[in-house]
Structure 1
Amino acid sequence: LLTCIYATKEATKKKKSKLYVPQIDCDIKAAKIINPEFIAKCPSGCQDVKYRVYGTDIYASFSSICGAAIHSGTIDKSGGKILVQKVAGQSGYKGSFSNGIRSLSLPRWRESFIVSEGKPKKGVQYPSTLEYSSSSNTPVKGKCKIFCWECVCVCVCVCVCVVFFHIQLHLHYTYCKVDLSFLIDGSWSIGKRRFQIQKQFLKNVAQALDVGPAGPLMGIIQYGDDPSTEFNLKTYTNSKDLQNAIEKILQKGGLSNVGRALSFVNKNFFEDANGNRGSAPNVAIVMVDGWPTDKVEEASRLARESGINIFFVTIEGPDENEKQNVIETNFVDKAVCRTNGYYSINVPSWFSLHKVVQQLVKRVCDSDRLACSKTCLNAADIGFVIDGSSSVGTGNFRTLLQFVANISKEFEISDTDTRIGAVQYTYEQRLEFGFDKHRTKQDVLNAIKRINYWSGGTSTGAAINYAFEQLFSKSKPNKRKIMILITDGRSYDDVRGPAAAAHQNGVIAYSVGIAWAAQDELEAIATDPDKEHSFFVDEFDSLYRFVPRIIQNICTEFNSQPRN
């Protein structure tokens, strides 16, 4: 063995191992790769407009890596090697046109990256296999094969794999940023031993999350007869202090009034004074031993409509003989966003609770599922105000309706998720359908197709007043009111007064102008800042370009202002 190792060292001196550079596809976004710094190779053809880029010099991690590399001038459209470094999130990403790529502006994002020439830095080791946020441990095997030499293969492989596995566990949630409240069961039914198991579970979650100011923050509410805050989001900013505080929590006793606890969270917990950051999704995880002793459906609905993602972890739920004692049957399905099992975890025994730590943390940190169009996080009422004047024309009107459909289909549509309404206007106004008319995505898309072109003049101010009276005045409490107005010309009446009134009544207004639309009117209609809410194109056929930007702005604005 000694002779073999010596020979390997000699061979290493004579021939330096070649760095293997992994290739990535054009559509890969920086947020999908866990590694904080890496060298990768981009293919040719990544200058296509479908590969979105956000920012200039410093790019939001929501961007295509290769698209950003071309935009920055690091590579051209033929592709090449690049060095990618993750950096902190920014405010005010600036859009620009460079090297054939139009990058978009973005108000805020949780993580950024920079790209430079793909030359390794001295003394820095770069991964030969990139670790993706949704991948398994498979890449580890590939890494062993690349770095193993004959006779010390087993030794090196074990070392590399074990180290890499620990790094993976640590990095998997490094870029997780959520404001998290745990509602823990302190009722007498749980008993002292199981209450201690519950606390250990919380400590394990805190460790897996790697709590910190730039990542996830965690507070705890204990419920029994009544809920009380053990500590809020800003009390502890690292996992160690948080774990020590969890260990000191004493059991309250009482009933299991989960509905009352959810109402408390909705009204009191996610406040700025308690450390709510606005830029991070609000998540409530409810721990339940058995079943609640009050109703949860209404409290859960109001919490969801306020922007809180609700997860339920139920332990030792009722069996067939006990279900007659449950006040509200199927209480979990009535409480969570959807009944697909993603937002609920059923654990058969308290002694199995430790097995779901990673599963729960992974779900809570899945930014795609917590993004606005993927969940009931931002349950909104979106009203389209559509110009049907003579200058639009029949063909362009169909293009305009396709634009409306393209935005609508990005959202989850139901009575508790996003609702869609539409008004068409000329000199007069017509309610095409209200928020309560269609409750599925397909019904909404079919209704949009059925809208008939009206033709006439252009009274945009009157249309805004009409939309508020017929749509937004009937919006549900806690629903975010969003108006998207599309017009191709100057209005015959004043738009400033009606727009100001809509803004004052909580309507967030987006204006989209085509061809002869007046820029000053578009800016007056749009909510401040104008540049994030007002858009203009020369031709109807270019409307599609604004779909992803409008959706992203709606999401970002919701996260920064999570309450109506």
Structure 2
Amino acid sequence: MFINKMISSLPIEDHKYRVGLAQYSDGLHREFQLNTFKSSGPMLNHLKKNVRFLGGSLRIGNALREVHTTYFSNGRDRRQFPPILVVLASAESEDAMEEASKALRSDGVRIISVGMQGTPEETLKAMATGQFHYSLQTVRDLSMFSQNMTQILKDAAQYKEVAAHSHTVDPFPRACQKDSLADLMFLVDESVGTKQNLRNLQNFLKNITFSMDVKDNCLRLGLMSYSDRVQTFSLLSSSTTQSEFQKQIQKLSLQAGKSNAGAAIEKMRREGFSASSGSRRAQGVPQIAVLVTDRPSDDKVREAALNLRLEDVTVFAMGIQRANKTQLEEIVSYPPGQTISMMKSYGDLEIYSKNFLKKLQNEIWSQISTHAEQMELDKTGCVDTKEADLYFLIDGSSSIQNKHFEQIKEFMLAVIKMFSIGPDKVRVGAVQYSHEKEVEFDINDYTNDVALRKAVSNIKQLGGNTLTGAALDFILPLIRKGRKQRMNEVPCYLIVLTDGMSMDGVLEPAERLRAEHITIHMVGIGEANRTQLQQIAGAEERVNFGQNFDSLKSIKNEVVRSICTEK
């Protein structure tokens, strides 16, 4: 899926991008050369039909040497067409690869290393050109990471090595490093128990901030603490150097009292991330909050955290010892698997600081890298999806609050905005369900964007129980009918959105839909059952889950990108 998305996003032509592919284990298996395919279509077809998993031991060094002679020994003008090698690794190499990496880089090849699961950071760094090394938690994270690859490839192509004696590399001709442009607030629970725990917490904060480019026009840092009450040590506009922020960290002290995280998050939103305190949200600078706690909150956190995230703040959480993971999932940004880190002790927190720093830098880099790409997508829409039938099947059961149902409608409007609406272009239909079913509008009812958007805005929530299986069976005849009204066959997509577990079976109804070549994208929120989501979508990459309804914004981008790039 990662390779498919990469290929689909690139303009593959003789005088633009050329792509080659090889697998490696004990040796190198050449799938195709750089000049084998002249466009993406035949390449994707070859991948689907011919590429199979090899298996075997992991010898990265040997693979790099063979790649060098097989793919990069000659070719086009390297000044006009810089050679780039993307290496995917899933574990530590069983042979040495430093010399092979160095030889490639000396020959002008830019290396981007991407590691999953247990790949050591040192392995990725040893391979990579500059800072083009990325560590992902799971294979599934590749799908999300693929969205950044177009920009990363452009950055790598423009990369210039500095003099050999220099130890600093700045590939971005700007006032600050690309992964240090953000407004970053720390919110820490000061009731840590012992002086040693406090020192570990302080060292964690020092380690994180010591490696970042702290200055007023780059990284701005803020620090707040809480127990019974909230205390502000540093606003975003206050600490404009590393040394100033380190002084504020030293002011943290042992406190006793309740854990009022909800009140602290609300104060951080109102005061910490306000423009008057130094927030640059209006200028598009990434807004990031990091919560550190070792216990459950004594007050409610869901509403305060939702309000914070709705103001475009990305929220991470470090949970230690007795911290309530379910509660942290209510606080953090989507997806929680990447934004929550659970630790056994404050000692582990200090040790984890290096990995968390990389996670922070990746988040900042990702937000900046994808910002221009997302703006272009918002502006042009899915230009490649000229004809399609798109159906929404939305849960309107009583478990969904009115304001959250409004967010579902906003999600629908945001998706529709990406497509060119018309009878011979993209058509849209919608069904709402609970234990009842309601055709909100058929695929042929609205032939222009204005009328369609008005129809979405007028949808009223049904209320009732959740019977997703029956709703899937209900929509199938509607899709069949819509297909007969087309002169030619076009792709058909069904986006299903629910917040709860279905009270009836979903597998067989979903299989009947997929048997008729209907691609199902499944969006689950809150209490949605993940097994059922998988059964409906039929493929993990088409399942999107968020703890809260505000994650629909990020999910919209993922669903739209998937549809836009699907061949």
Provide TM-score, normalisation by structure 2. 0.42
Work out which of the two has the higher radius of gyration on C-alpha atoms and give 1 or 2.
1
- Greater helix fraction, Structure 1 or Structure 2: 2
